[in-house]
Amino acid sequence: MTSPILISPSILSADFARLGEEVRAIDEAGCDWVHIDVMDGHFVPNITIGPAVVKALRPHSQKPFDVHLMISPVDLYLDAFAQAGADIITVHPEAGPHIHRSVQHIKSLGVKAGVVLNPGTPAKMLDYLMDDVDLILVMSVNPGFGGQSFIENQLRKIEAIRKMIDKSGRDIRLQVDGGIDFTTAPRAIAAGADVLVAGTATFRGGPSAYAGNIRKLRGG
């Protein structure tokens, strides 16, 4: 695998009282993307932020905003998050009636489109989406909360999807989110991931530690 390893810190683990400063801090510390978890208390058992917060954060970083929508029905909000400044929008097949249509709509907004697979969602779900997606996100925990432990059997799914991507010949990023730390990061990378979402592991130790944390997650 020749793709560089990208780190997309999840601001779910940031200090929400100073979110703009936190986004600037991870940007300066060398993150590649900024991962924004959007939860509605319905599709997942937690409530986080909406498009207004994404818009407010946009001036604080030029790095790509990687917006993971854990909301249902998701289609109603795609335009709002694109307009708020998302560069990548990832959606779950279970969050709307027609995942292919959702992906097409994201692309029509000039934004990169991703599909998210929960731990119980099989890789086969991607069979007829590979021609359209820019990103595949494997959840290595059940979505809803930060700080959970990595689910080991997702490594097999990462390996299977890496083979699917390589076979497709398309430039598709393979992202992993959930329980990523200094122990699980190299294992996810070895299985084929090239983008790591890490919240707790990035933000541990405060701003002075962010650069070292990001470097260590990347394998440096």
Give binding residues as ranges: 10, 35, 37, 68, 144-147, 177-179, 199-200
| Exposure class string for 2-33: b at 16+ Cβ within 10 A, else e | eeebbbbbbbbbbeeeebeebbbbbbebbbbb
**Number of Cβ within a 10 Å radius of residue 81:** 24
Q: Which residues are annotated as a binding site for a divalent metal cation?
A: 35, 37, 68, 177
131 counts as catalytic: no
Cα–Cα distance for residue pair 171/191, rounded to 1 Å:
17
Spot the catalytic one: 37, 66, 75, 181: 37
The binding site for substrate consists of 10, 68, 144-147, 177-179, 199-200
| 27 carries an active-site annotation | no
- Helices and strands: H and E segment counts in the chain: 8, 8
The count of other CB atoms within 10 Å of the CB of residue 124 is 10
d(CA 185, CA 171): 22
Per the residue annotation, which of 32, 40, 75, 177 is the catalytic one? 177
| Residues catalogued as catalytic | 37, 177
